[in-house]
Amino acid sequence: MPDHQERQRADVELRLPADGAYVSVVRTTTAGLAARLDFLIDDIEDLRIAVGEACAMVLPEADPDSELVCSYYLLPGSLTVVVAVSATQASGPEYDSFAWQVLSTMATRAEADSSNGRFAVSLTMQSGVPGVGH
């Protein structure tokens, strides 16, 4: 994960049971924050899809009774989302999976990390609005 996220406190953090039933809450929260940052409608939809794919990657790796933790880092024209679960037996990211291909295509930057008993996927999207955060 990028160093700034290790040192910087998330602007927004969402904690939910590690269950696919809550992915819609993550997607809606992501869309709301992107709209607050004046992202274009198409970029917001791309973010919703990418976050859904990130959840699809981490949830199967979650330890029983784990939480799905979504950390949001907001900057002018940029939104970074880190989706993580406790995962003592995580096999690591599958970079050839469909979920990873979708996520890495839609996001400006995507990374995955499976270490320290945690499996996390980080994605960053830059706003397509001219002059915002560029």
For 91-124, write each residue's pLDDT tens digit: 777 888 888 888 888 899 999 999 889 999 999 9
Q: Using the structure block, give the residue that is written with the tokens 């024209």.
A: 77
Residue 42 lies in a domain: yes
Residue 9 lies in a domain: no
- For residue 131, pLDDT beyond 70: no
Number of domain units in the chain:
1
- For residue 129, pLDDT beyond 70: no
Token pair for residue 85? 């679960």
The pairing of beta strand 12-17 with beta strand 78-86: unpaired
Residue 114 lies in a domain: yes
CATH number reported for the structural domain that contains residue 42 in this entry = 3.30.565.10
Share of the chain above pLDDT 70, in %: 90
Residue 128 lies in a domain: no
Considering the chain, what is the average pLDDT of its residues? 89
- For residue 7, pLDDT beyond 80: no
CA 20 to chain centre: 15
> Distance between CA atoms of 33 and 17, rounded to whole angstroms?
21
Please indicate whether residue 15 or residue 92 has the higher confidence score (pLDDT): 15
Residue 10 lies in a domain: no
Q: What is the CA radius of gyration of the chain?
A: 14
Quote the domain boundaries for residue 95. 17-122
Residue 3 lies in a domain: no
- For residue 6, pLDDT beyond 80: no
pTM flag (> 0.85)? yes
Residue 110 lies in a domain: yes
Residue 61 lies in a domain: yes
Please indicate whether residue 44 or residue 130 has the higher confidence score (pLDDT): 44
Residue 95 half-sphere exposure toward CB, CA atoms < 13 A: 5
The pLDDT value recorded for residue 134 is: 45
- For residue 47, pLDDT beyond 80: yes
Q: Degrees (nearest 5) of the Cα angle 9, 13, 17?
A: 140
The pLDDT value recorded for residue 95 is: 85
Q: Tell me, what amino acid is at 100?
A: W
